[in-house]
Amino acid sequence: MKVAIVGATGMVGNVMLQVLEERNFPLDELLLVASERSVGNKLKFKGKEIEVISIPSAIEKRPDIALFSAGGNTSLEWAPKFAEVGTTVIDNSSAWRMDLSKKLVVPEINAHTLTHTDKIIANPNCSTIQMVMALAPLHKKYKIKRIVVSTYQSVSGTGVKAVEQMENEIAGKKGEMAYPYPIHKNAIPHCDVFEDNGYTKEEMKLVNETQKILNDKTIAVTATAVRIPTAGGHSEAINVEFEEDFDLSEVRQLLSETDGVTLQDNLDVNLYPMPMYAHGKDDVFVGRIRRDGSQPNTLNLWVVSDNLRKGAATNTVQIAEYLIKNGLV
Ligand SMILES: NC(=O)c1ccc[n+]([C@@H]2O[C@H](COP(=O)([O-])OP(=O)(O)OC[C@H]3O[C@@H](n4cnc5c(N)ncnc54)[C@H](OP(=O)(O)O)[C@@H]3O)[C@@H](O)[C@H]2O)c1
> What is the arithmetic mean of pLDDT over 32-60?
98
The rounded Å distance from CA 68 to ligand 1 centre is 8
Same domain, 142 and 200: yes
Q: Is 263 contained in some domain?
A: yes
Q: Is 223 contained in some domain?
A: yes
* CA–CA distance, 116 with 106 (Å, rounded to integer): 17
Please give the span between the terminal C-alpha atoms of the chain, in angstroms, as a whole number: 9
Same domain, 321 and 300: no
292 pLDDT tier (thresholds 50, 70, 90): very high
Same domain, 95 and 137: no
153 close to 134: Cβ distance less than 8 angstroms: no
pLDDT tens, position by position, 144-190 = 999 999 999 999 999 999 999 999 999 999 999 999 999 999 999 99
Closest residue by Cα to residue 209 from 192, 197, 196, 221: 221
Q: Is 147 contained in some domain?
A: yes
3-state secondary structure 236-281: EEEEEEECCCCCHHHHHHHHHCCCCEEECCEHHHCECCCHHHHCCC
Q: DSSP character for 224?
A: E
pLDDT tens, position by position, 50-95 = 999 999 999 999 999 999 999 999 999 999 999 999 999 999 999 9
Same domain, 136 and 254: yes
**Full domain range(s) for residue 254:** 127-154+187-305
Q: So what's the pLDDT on residue 7? A: 98
Q: So what's the pLDDT on residue 256? A: 98
Q: So what's the pLDDT on residue 149? A: 99
Q: So what's the pLDDT on residue 306? A: 98
Residue 30: how many other CB atoms lie within 10 Å: 21
Same domain, 58 and 136: no
Mean pLDDT of the chain: 98
> What is the arithmetic mean of pLDDT over 203-210?
98
The rounded Å distance from CA 142 to ligand 1 centre is 38
Return the CATH number at 198: 3.30.360.10
Task: Provide the percentage of residues in the chain whose pLDDT is more than 90.
Answer: 100
Protein residue with least CA distance to atom 45, ligand 1:
71
Q: So what's the pLDDT on residue 49? A: 97
Residue 191 annotated as catalytic: no
CA dihedral sign, ordered 209, 17, 274, 257: positive
Q: So what's the pLDDT on residue 220? A: 98
109 pLDDT tier (thresholds 50, 70, 90): very high
Same domain, 66 and 8: yes
Tell me: is residue 23 an annotated ligand-binding position.
no
Same domain, 143 and 257: yes
- Check if 275 has its Cβ closer than 6 Å to any atom of ligand 1: no
Task: Provide the percentage of residues in the chain whose pLDDT is more than 70.
Answer: 100
* CA–CA distance, 73 with 243 (Å, rounded to integer): 40
Same domain, 145 and 289: yes
- Regarding beta strands 2-6 and 29-33, do their DSSP bridges make them parallel or antiparallel, or are they unpaired? parallel
> What is the arithmetic mean of pLDDT over 246-251?
98
Q: So what's the pLDDT on residue 182? A: 98
Q: Is 178 contained in some domain?
A: no
- Check if 157 has its Cβ closer than 6 Å to any atom of ligand 1: yes
Q: So what's the pLDDT on residue 3? A: 98
Atom of ligand 1 nearest to the CA of 52: 40
R_g (Cα) of the chain, nearest Å: 20
302 pLDDT tier (thresholds 50, 70, 90): very high
| Residue 220 phi, psi dihedral angles, 5° rounding | -85, 135
Same domain, 26 and 93: yes
> What is the arithmetic mean of pLDDT over 285-303?
98
CA 128 to chain centre: 7
Q: Is 162 contained in some domain?
A: no
Total domains in the fold of the chain: 2
Q: Which of 59, 69, 74 to mutate to test the pocket of ligand 1 (most atoms within 8 A of CB)?
A: 69
- Regarding beta strands 144-153 and 220-227, do their DSSP bridges make them parallel or antiparallel, or are they unpaired? parallel
- Regarding beta strands 261-263 and 29-33, do their DSSP bridges make them parallel or antiparallel, or are they unpaired? unpaired
> What is the arithmetic mean of pLDDT over 240-252?
98
Return the CATH number at 46: 3.40.50.720
Closest residue by Cα to residue 279 from 214, 230, 232: 232
- Check if 126 has its Cβ closer than 6 Å to any atom of ligand 1: yes
